[in-house]
Structure 1
Amino acid sequence: MDAATKNYAISPLADTLGAEVTGLDVSKPVSQEIISEMKRAIAKYGVLCFRDQTLTEAEQIEFSKLWGPLEDFPEEDKTVAAPTVYHVANVSADGQNLPETDFRVIYQKVNARWHTDSSYRYVPAYVSLLYGIEVMPKGAPGGRTGFSNMIAAYAALPEALRDEIEPLHMVHTYEFGRRLFPELPPVSKHEKESVPPVSQPLVRVHPERGNERSLYFTANAGNEISGLTLEEGQALHRKLVEHVSQPQFTYFHEWRKGDLVVWDNRTMLHKAEAYDMSKYRRVFRRTTVAGDGPVLGPCSRAVVGNKRVAT
C-alpha cells in the first residue's frame, strides 16, 4: 500500500520549533509529493517527529534516500553497521550492555554538547534521521534530545554582537572529541583523511530561504575562531553556547518507542541529554542525508544551481 493514500497530520510540538507527523507509515512507499511536503515542513519547523513507526534498517535507509543522497560515516568501528547507518547505543550489536568505560559509550558523550551533524565536513549534512528502538521509560530522568533554533537565536542577538561575528569563522574538527575525552582511541589514518579540519562561518546565510541568517557553530567540534586570540575565541564561544541554551530557543524531545525524528542540520543544533547509562538501555539508529553545497556566510560567493550568488 502506498503511504500517500493514508491520511496524516502535521501538528506543532512547541512554540519555538518542532512538529509531529501522525498517520503516516514511512515503512511503506512514500510519494515524492509527500516528501516535498515534508521538506517544506522541515524548513518551517526545523524538526519533525514521525510517530508510531516500525522500521527495519533497510526501510529506514530507503525512506532516508527519498530526502537525498546519504552520507557514509567516517568511523570504522564505532557501532557502525552499514556505512550509511550509525547505531547510537549503550548496547553492543549483540544486545549486551556496554560499560561506561567502553569507548563506544564515551564517544556518545561528545554528543551531549550542542552540535550540528557533519559540520566537520566541507559540505555538511542536510537532515539527520534518528529512530528510537529502545528509549527511556516514561518518567525516567534524562535521555531526551534537545534542539535549539539557530534562526531565532541569531535574530535575538544584540545588533553589535551580530556585527562582530559576521566576518568570523570557526574551526570544525572531527578530532575535537579526543580533546574532551582523551581516553578515546586516537583518530585513525582513515578518519583523518576522510574528514580533515574545516573552517565554517559563524553566521550562515540560507539562499533557499531568501538569504535568511542563522548562527552556525557547535560546542563539540572545537572553539578556535579565526581573527581572535584563543582566549577571545573561547570567551565568544561560551557566550554563544549560553545564548542558544535559553529556553525560548529550545525544545527537548521525550522519546517514545517508534519515534523517527528528522531535523534540519542547517538551522538546528541538537544534543543528547545525560542519563544513567548503567541503569537504562538506550538504542537508536541514525542515517544522515548529505548537504548540497558548502556553508555560505555573509561574505561568501558561491554557485547555487547554475547561478553565482553573492551574500
Structure 2
Amino acid sequence: MPLKAEPILPRFGAVCSGLDLTRPLGPDEVKQVTDAMDQWGVCIFRDTGMNDEQHVQFSRNFGYLERVPKREGMKMRLPYRELFDASNLNSNGEITRDEAAIQYRKGDRLWHTDSAFLEKRTSYSLLLAHQVPGKGGETWFADTRSAYEDLSPQMKELLEGKIGINSLWWSRKQAGADIPDEEIESRFMAKHPLVHVHKGSGRKALFIAAHTMDVEGMDKAQGRALIRELIDHCTQPQYTFSVQWHPGDLVIWDNLCSMHRGGDFDYTNEKRDMRRTTVREGTEPHTMETGDDPYTELFSRSPKVVDIQGARASGR
C-alpha cells in the first residue's frame, strides 16, 4: 500500500499513513517517505506500534544516527545510544527533580532547530511518543521555506551571505539559565548560513532559531534584533501548526526547512516520555560509525546550571 499524505497547511506538514514502520522497508518505500519529507517538511505517523529497536532501525534508512554523550558512571535509561531522551524523567524513569535538568529542558520550549549548535547539522529528527501528559505537551512546527519566500526583496538582499553563530548554551540562557555571555563565548560555537538551499526541494529556507546567538560581522545588538525579527516572522500563524501527541505516534521533521518547540505541560507531576533519533545531514543510509562523537565533547563542558548529563549520571 503506498504512502498517503494528508496536508495540514497548504505547503507544510502532513499526516501520513499506508506504511508499516515496524518492519524493514524496501527502497521504494523509503523513497516514498523521503519524497513526502521533501514536499511537506514534517510527517506525522499515528499509532505506529514501534518499539525502541524498530525506531532505531527505521531511522537508519535516512543516514548516520547521532549518539547521546558518554559519561563515565552514567546510568542510561534507554537501551540505545542512538535514542536521545527528550523526556522529563531521570535515569530511574521517575519525574526528575534536578534543577539543572529542569532548567536545561526549558530551552526545548523555545523555537529551535536540533543540533544547529554543532558543525555538522541534523537533517531529520524522528520523535516517538511512549507516554504523554493528559493536557499540553504538544509540539509546534514552523515552515522556514515559505517564511523565507514571503520576505521582502530588501530583507532577502540583506540576508544574502550572512552567517549565524550558534550556541547550545545561548539558547539555554534565553530560556532563563544564568550563564554569562563570556562563559558562552568561551565554549564551542557553530557557524551556518542564515539562508541556504534546501537540497530535497530546491527551495531556499531560513536556518535560524534559538541557538543563533549572533550574526557574523554585524554589531551584536543589530544582529540579535535581526534574529528576533526573523524568528517572529517565521512563527506567524500562517506558517505554524501543532501536533497533539498520543502514545505510539512518530513525527519526523526536517531541521533544514523547519523550526519547532515543545508546548507547556505539568512538568513536575505528569510524565512525558519522548525518545528521539537524530540523523546527520549528508550521510548515507545504514551508516553505523563515523569515528567522531561531537555530543560527548560538547556536553563535557556543560555550564553547571544546565548540566543535564551530570544530573542523569547521579540518577537524580
The answer to whether TM tops 0.5 is yes
Q: Which amino acid in 2 is paired with 1:54?
A: G
Q: What residue is the counterpart of 1:106 in the other structure?
A: 103
Judge conservation of contact 1:106–1:184 (CA < 8 Å) in 2: no
Q: What residue is the counterpart of 2:269 in the other structure?
A: 279
Q: Which amino acid in 2 is paired with 1:84?
A: E
Judge conservation of contact 2:3–2:33 (CA < 8 Å) in 1: no
Judge conservation of contact 1:92–1:98 (CA < 8 Å) in 2: yes
Judge conservation of contact 2:136–2:264 (CA < 8 Å) in 1: yes
Uncovered stretches (5+) of structure 1, i.e. residues with no partner: 1-5, 187-191, 294-311
Judge conservation of contact 1:91–1:97 (CA < 8 Å) in 2: yes
Q: Would the alpha carbon gap of residues 284 and 185 (structure 1) be closer, same or farther in structure 2, given more than 3 Å must change?
A: farther
Match of 2:48 among 53, 56, 60: 53
Residues 1:10 and 2:2 aligned together:
no
Q: Which amino acid in 2 is paired with 1:122?
A: E
Of the structure 1 ranges 157-166 and 101-110, higher mean CA displacement relative to structure 2 is found in 101-110
Q: What residue is the counterpart of 1:95 in the other structure?
A: 93
Q: Deviations over 1:180-227 (max 9, x none)?
A: 4675899xxxxx99xx311111111234433x21111111x1421112
Q: What residue is the counterpart of 2:21 in the other structure?
A: 26
Tell me how far apart the structure 1 counterparts of residues 2 and 140 of structure 2 sit (CA, whole Å): 29
Tell me how far apart the structure 2 counterparts of residues 277 and 56 of structure 1 sit (CA, whole Å): 24
Q: Would the alpha carbon gap of residues 248 and 106 (structure 1) be closer, same or farther in structure 2, given more than 3 Å must change?
A: same
Judge conservation of contact 1:107–1:184 (CA < 8 Å) in 2: no
Q: Which amino acid in 2 is paired with 1:147?
A: F
- Scaled by the length of structure 2, the TM-score of the pair is 0.80
Q: Would the alpha carbon gap of residues 8 and 166 (structure 1) be closer, same or farther in structure 2, given more than 3 Å must change?
A: closer
3-state DSSP class of the match of 1:60?
helix
Q: Would the alpha carbon gap of residues 229 and 153 (structure 1) be closer, same or farther in structure 2, given more than 3 Å must change?
A: same
Identity of aligned residues (%): 28
The structural deviation recorded for 1:83 is 2.4
- Scaled by the length of structure 1, the TM-score of the pair is 0.81
Tell me how far apart the structure 2 counterparts of residues 14 and 165 of structure 1 sit (CA, whole Å): 26
Judge conservation of contact 1:97–1:281 (CA < 8 Å) in 2: yes
3-state DSSP class of the match of 2:133?
coil
Uncovered stretches (5+) of structure 2, i.e. residues with no partner: 181-185, 284-316
Judge conservation of contact 1:132–1:257 (CA < 8 Å) in 2: yes
Match of 1:150 among 138, 144, 155: 144
Q: Would the alpha carbon gap of residues 117 and 80 (structure 1) be closer, same or farther in structure 2, given more than 3 Å must change?
A: farther
Match of 1:235 among 218, 225, 250: 225
Query: What is the aligned length?
Result: 275
Match of 1:217 among 203, 208, 213: 208
Q: Would the alpha carbon gap of residues 182 and 205 (structure 1) be closer, same or farther in structure 2, given more than 3 Å must change?
A: same
Q: Which amino acid in 2 is paired with 1:291?
A: E
Q: Deviations over 1:70-102 (max 9, x none)?
A: 112347489665321111111223321223x43
Tell me how far apart the structure 1 counterparts of residues 227 and 43 of structure 2 sit (CA, whole Å): 28
Q: Which amino acid in 1 is paired with 2:38?
A: A
3-state DSSP class of the match of 1:118?
coil
Q: Would the alpha carbon gap of residues 207 and 130 (structure 1) be closer, same or farther in structure 2, given more than 3 Å must change?
A: closer
Residues 1:132 and 2:129 aligned together:
yes
Q: Would the alpha carbon gap of residues 19 and 183 (structure 1) be closer, same or farther in structure 2, given more than 3 Å must change?
A: closer
Tell me how far apart the structure 2 counterparts of residues 31 and 207 of structure 1 sit (CA, whole Å): 23
Q: Which amino acid in 1 is paired with 2:159?
A: I
Tell me how far apart the structure 2 counterparts of residues 134 and 231 of structure 1 sit (CA, whole Å): 42
Residues 1:254 and 2:248 aligned together:
no
Q: Would the alpha carbon gap of residues 169 and 283 (structure 1) be closer, same or farther in structure 2, given more than 3 Å must change?
A: same
Q: Deviations over 1:95-136 (max 9, x none)?
A: 21223x432232121111111111122220110100011113
Tell me how far apart the structure 2 counterparts of residues 67 and 208 of structure 1 sit (CA, whole Å): 13
3-state DSSP class of the match of 1:13?
strand
Judge conservation of contact 2:145–2:204 (CA < 8 Å) in 1: yes
Of the structure 1 ranges 7-16 and 274-283, higher mean CA displacement relative to structure 2 is found in 7-16
